[in-house]
Structure 1
Amino acid sequence: MDDSPKSLENNQEIKVEEIMQVPSVEMSFDSIDEAYDYYRKYGKQLGFPVRKRTSRKGDDGNTKYITISCGRAGKFKSKSSISLKSHPSVKTDCKVLIRLGKSLDGKWKINSTKLEHNHGLSPRKSRYFSANSELSSSIKRRLELNDVARIGLNKSYNSIVVEAQGYDNVPFLEKGAQNHIEKIRRLRLKESDATAVQTYFLDMQDKIASFFYAIDINEKGKLRNFFWAYARSRAAYQEFGDVFTFDTTYLTNKYEMPSAPFVGVNHHVQSILLGCGLISSEDIETFVWLFKSWLTCMSGNAPSGINTDQDRAMKNAIEIVFPNTRHRWCLWHILKKIPEKLKGYTEYESISMTLLNTIYDSLSQVEFEERWDEMIKQYKLHENDG
C-alpha cells in the first residue's frame, strides 16, 4: 500500500480545496446539503464559519426556503442579570448570508446574497471552525485500527500530518481524532455485556412494574446509551422534583462511559437519585435522547430548574427538551475557574476573598449586584472578560 502524500490525495482522505466561486443568484444546487457544503468550503477559503440559520416550509410541510449565514450572525443575548460570561461572544451581528429557494425543477437556487462582513477574516484559522472538521471514513477506519493495535493517538495523528506535509493540510485537529476514538471505545460493549444489561432491566421490570429503563441502539444494532430509574426515584421526584443537578464528570466503569446521574435534594437536605444514565458521547443528540427518556420516565413533568456545568451541548439540549425550565450553572464549576481567570492579578488573594464573600454573604439579588459592581471598581476588573 502506497502511503505517500500523493496516494492520500488520490484517495481524497486529505485534499486541498479548489478556488471557490463567489455566491451569486446564478447558482443552483441539487440539494440543501450540496448548497451547505459549497458555502462551508467558500467560508473556509475566505476564513469565516458558516451555519444553517433559518428554514421555511410550504403548505405541504416540505422545506421551501433556507438561509445559510456567517457563523457570527446574530447578537449575544445574556440570560443572566449578572454581567459575567465564561467566554466573550463571537457573535458580531454579521449580515453575510445566502438565501435559497426550491424551484419547480427541484433545484435549490440562490435568491439573494450579502457578502460584506463586519469582522475580520482568518483563512489560516478556518480549520479550527467546527464545521470544517472532516474525518473521512478511511481516516476513521485507520484511527480505529491503530487504536486496537495500541498505537498511540499522538503517533497516529502525527503520521497523518507528515503524509499531508503539514498541519495546515489536515482537515481536522487532533482533538477531533481524540473525540472520535473516545466515542468508538465507548461503543465497544461486548455482545454479552449488552445482553446482560437488557436481561437485568427486563428482570427488574418484571419484579417491579414501576421500574423504568430506556435503551438506545445504533444503526449497527449495538448498545449506545441507556437510562434507568428505580421506583423510589420516580416516587421521590413527585415530592422533591422542583430542581435537580445533572453532571457527567464521573467515569466509573471499564468502558469509560460517562455516568449521568439526575440528583435532587429531599426535605432533610440529603441528595437523592432521580435516575441515571450511561452515555457513549457528550453531544447534543445524546443529551436530547437522555433528557427525553428521563422526561418520559417522569410522566412528562419537567422540573422548574436544572443545575449543570457550562457544557454547551448540554445547554442546547436543555433548551430543546426543557424550554420552560430555568437553567443555572453549578456554583462549584464556576468557582473552580477563579484561579484560571484571576491568578495573574497581584491582588489575587484579596480579589478571591472578596468574590467569595460577595457570593456567600449576599442575601438578595440586588445586594449581590451592588457588591459585584463595587468589587469590579475596587480592583479595576472592567477589562477582564473572564
Structure 2
Amino acid sequence: MAISKVISSHNHELEPSMSRLMVAHRSLNMDMKRRLEANDIAGIRPAKSIRLLEVQAGEPENLSYLSKDYQKFIERKRRLRLGDGDAEAIRKLFVRMQRNDPEFFYSFDLDDDSRLSNVLWVHPRSRAAYEEFNDVVSFDTAYLVNQYKLSFATIVGVNHHGQSILLGCALISHKDVNTFKWLFMTWLEAMGDVHPNSILTINASMRKAITEVMPNTRHRFCLWNILCNVPEKFKGVVDYDSACLEFKAIIYDSLIIEMFERNWNEFVVKHGLERNEWLSKLYVDREYWVPIYLNHTFWAGMVSTQRSESMHAYFDGYVNSMSTLKQFVEQYEIAMCDKNEKEFYADFKSKNTVVNCISVFKWEQQFQKAFNNSIFKLVQEEIKRMWYCHVIQPTEEGRREADNEPGIERHKIMEKSIINN
C-alpha cells in the first residue's frame, strides 16, 4: 500500500489591509482553522462564528481572510469529515482485498491533519487489461455518489470489443492541480509507469497536471461538453440558427487545418463575434478539441467523455447518495464482478458465432477472419456506405490531366443521399 501526503495550504504573513485586497495572499492560519472547525462541529452558525473571530481580533480589518474564505474552508472540511470509523473500515477492507489478491492496488492521500483526503484503487483485472489497452483513456470527475459528497473519478479505456473498461477509480475531496497530480502519479504507479498515448477529459482544468505528470500524452477536451455551451454563448447572435449550423460545420467538415482556420475567421467576422471571449479562448486551445488537429492520433472512436458517463451510469444500480465510503467500495466490487462477466460473455460469443459477409468483396473475408465480431460489424457499416457511392467515369479532359501524371487515374465519386424524405 502506498501512503502519501499532500499539503495544499500555506501560511502567509501579510499586512491586514493588503490581505483583504489581494486574493492570492489570503489565508487561514492553523489556529484559526482549528477554531473554525470546532465551532462548526459544535453547531455554531457560520455568521456567528466569523463575528466571534472579528471581535477577538479587535475589528474585521485585522483578520487576514474574508467570510467567503471561511465558507470555502468549512465546506472542504465537511467533505473530509467521514463517519465514525469509516476511514479505518475502508483501510481494513483494502488490506483484506490485497491479502486475497496481491495485485490489488490502493493508495490513501492524507490532508495536513493526517486525515483521509483522497483514495485511489485499481482492480487486478484493470491492471491486466491496461497492459493490452493503454492507447487511450478517458478521465472524468463529474459523478457524486456518496453522503460525503466526494467526487467519484474514473479512468476508462476501450477493449478489443469496443467495450468500455474501468482502468482505475478514486474518490477525491476537491478538484485542484495538486489533487490531480497525486491521482495521475499514483495511478501510473499502479500501471507500472506505462503512460497512455492519449487522454480525454471533460475540459481544460486538468491540463496542467497532465502536462507535468504525462508530458508525452496527447490531451483532448470533450467536444460534446464544448458544444453544449453553444446555445448560451450564441444567444445574442442575430441569425442564431444559421450560426449554430455553420459553427458545427466548421468543426466537423474542415478537411485540412488551413481550411478550418480560414472558415473560423470568416465565421467570427460574419456574425460579429470578434469580442466573444469564449470563442477566443476556444481558438487558442483549438489543438485540444478540433478534430482536424487530432485525427492523426488514435482515439478508439472517442471524441467525448461519454464512455466515462456511461460507466458512471452503470454504477447507479449499486450505489446512491447515501452510500457510506465502505459501502461504496463493497458495492463497487460487486459491480466489477458483473461487468467482468459481460466481458467474458462477449469473448465467448465472438469466438463461437460467425457473422456472415454482406458483399462479394474478397477482402471482406479477410476482415472477417482477422477481427472479432464487434469490430467486423463496424467494417460492414463502412461497406454499406460504399453501396451509396456513385462512381462517375472520367471525362476526356480528366483522362488528359491524368496522362500528365503517370500512375494516376481520376474518378469522380458522389454519395447518394435522401433529402426531404
On whether the aligned pair clears a TM of 0.5, the verdict is: yes
> C-alpha separation between the residues in 1 aligned to 2:63 and 2:226?
35
Of the three residues 56, 74, 79, the one matched with 1:186 is 79
Q: Which has the higher contact order (CA 8 A, sep 6+)?
A: 2
Q: How does 1:139-218 map to 2 (within 5 A)?
A: 139-150=32-43, 153=46, 171-218=64-111
1:220 to 1:171, Cα distance in 2 relative to 1, 3 A:
closer
Equivalent position SS for 1:253: coil
1:382 paired residue number? 274
Residue 124 of structure 2, aligned match among 187, 207, 231: 231
The aligned counterpart of 1:135 is 28
Change (3 A) 1:130 1:301: farther
State the 1:286 CA deviation.
Answer: 1.9
Shift of 1:302: 0.9
SS of structure 1 residue aligned to 2:38: helix
**Which residue number corresponds to residue 218 of structure 2?**
326
Closer, same or farther: CA 215–37 of 1 in aligned 2, 3 Å: closer
Aligned equivalents of 2:29, 2:112: Cα separation in 1: 18
Deviations 1:298-353 (A, max 9, x none): 100111222223354x3222222112222222223322332443323333333223
Q: Describe how 1:94-113 pairs up with structure 2 within 5 A.
A: none
Offset from partner CA, 1:337-385 (integer Å, 9 cap, x none): 3244332333333322322232233344444333322321221212222
Deviations 1:163-208 (A, max 9, x none): 9999877643444333312221122123521122112212222222
The whole-number CA distance in structure 1 between the counterparts of 2:59 and 2:45 is 19
Deviations 1:231-287 (A, max 9, x none): 221122222222212221221111111111111223443322110011122222222
Alignment match, 1:369: 261
Query: In the aligned structure 2, how far is the partner of 1:306 from the partner of 1:153?
Result: 41
8 Å Cα contact 1:259-1:276 kept in structure 2: yes
Distance 1:377 1:194, change over 3 A: same
Give SS of 1:351's match: helix
Q: Equivalents in 2 of 1:353, 1:137: separation in Å?
A: 54
Structure 2: distance between partners of 1:254 and 1:37: 34
Offset of residue 219 of structure 1: 4.8
> Which whole-Å CA distance do the structure 2 matches of 1:171 and 1:340 have between them?
38
Within 2, Cα distance between the matches of 1:198 and 1:355? 50
Amino acid of the structure 2 residue aligned with 1:381: L
Q: Does 1:304 align with 2:200?
A: no
Count of aligned pairs: 269
Contact 1:216 1:223 in 2 (8 A): yes
Partner secondary structure for residue 184 of structure 1: helix
Q: Does 1:271 align with 2:143?
A: no
RMSD: 3.4
Among 249, 252, 261, which residue is 2:145 paired with? Answer: 252
- For 1:384 and 1:273, how far apart are their aligned partners in 2? 38
213-222 or 148-157, larger mean C-alpha shift: 148-157
**TM-score normalised to structure 2 length:** 0.55
The equivalent of 1:59 in structure 2 is none
Q: Distance in 2 between matches of 1:304 and 1:187?
A: 34
Aligned 1:60-75 pairs, distance under 5 A: none
The alignment-based identity, stated in percent, is: 45
| Contact 1:128-1:173 at 8 Å conserved across structures | no
Task: Quote the Cα distance in structure 2 between the aligned partners of 1:295 and 1:250.
Answer: 22
| Higher helix fraction (1 or 2) | 2
CA distance in 2, matches of 1:247, 1:214: 19
Aligned-residue offset at 1:130: 3.9
Q: Hey, what does 2:368 align to over in structure 1?
A: none
Question: Amino acid of the residue matched to residue 315 of structure 1?
Answer: R
8 A Cα contact 1:304 1:325, kept in partner:
yes
Q: Aligned partners of 2:192 and 2:166: how far apart in 1?
A: 17
Secondary structure of residue in 2 paired with 1:247: strand
Q: Report the residue type matching 2:247 in the other structure.
A: L
Residue type matched to 1:266 in 2?
A: N
Contact 2:204 2:221 survives alignment (8 Å): no
User: Structure 1 residues 202-211 or 133-142, which shifts more?
Assistant: 133-142
Confirm or deny: 8 A CA contact 1:244 1:265 kept in the other structure: yes
Structure 2 Cα separation of the partners of residues 363 and 41 of structure 1: 57
Q: CA deviation at 1:295?
A: 0.5
Match status 1:287 vs 2:177: no
Q: 1:317 aligns with which of 178, 196, 209?
A: 209
Which of 236, 240, 255 is matched with 1:344 structurally?
236
Unaligned runs of 5+ in 2: 1-10, 279-421
| Higher share of residues assigned strand | 1
